[in-house]
């Protein structure tokens, strides 16, 4: 689930993985801030219990902001970063 932010900027959001009461952490960013990405390209990896999940860019653009750092706890629906269109 990805949200639209002012203009056409899109958020990278933690999806509901259907894992109740399982802590979720942002493991690692796979791209640098300012790096160009394509829709569907993995940009961040999260850990949910034993599962590792890659989250992809919702659109073509540039990773404009990282809202959460590596190894931080996150919640379903929380914005992790923002993609700015080219």
Digit-coded pLDDT (tens) for 49-70: 889 999 999 999 999 999 999 9
Query: Mean pLDDT score of the chain, rounded to an integer?
Result: 92
- Considering the entire predicted model, what is its pTM? 0.87
Q: Which among 47, 48, 40 is positioned nearest to 22, based on CA atoms? A: 48
Q: What residues contact residue 12 under an 8 Å CB cut-off, 6+ apart?
A: 2, 43, 44, 55, 57, 58, 79, 80, 81, 82, 83
What pLDDT is stored for residue 77 in this prediction?
96
Domain count, the chain: 1
- Residue pair 54/31 in contact (Cβ under 8 Å)? The answer is no
Residue 3, phi then psi, degrees to nearest 5: -100, 155
Question: What is the span of the domain harbouring residue 74?
Answer: 4-84
């Amino acid at each position: 689930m990805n949200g639209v932010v002012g203009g056409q900027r899109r958020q990278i959001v933690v999806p509901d993985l259907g894992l109740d009461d399982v802590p979720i952490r942002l493991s690692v960013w796979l791209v640098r801030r300012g790096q160009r990405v394509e829709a569907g390209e993995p940009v961040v990896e999260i850990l949910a219990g034993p599962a590792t999940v890659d989250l992809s860019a919702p659109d073509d653009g540039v990773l404009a902001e990282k809202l959460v750092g590596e190894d931080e706890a996150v919640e379903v629906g929380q914005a992790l970063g923002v993609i700015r269109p080219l």
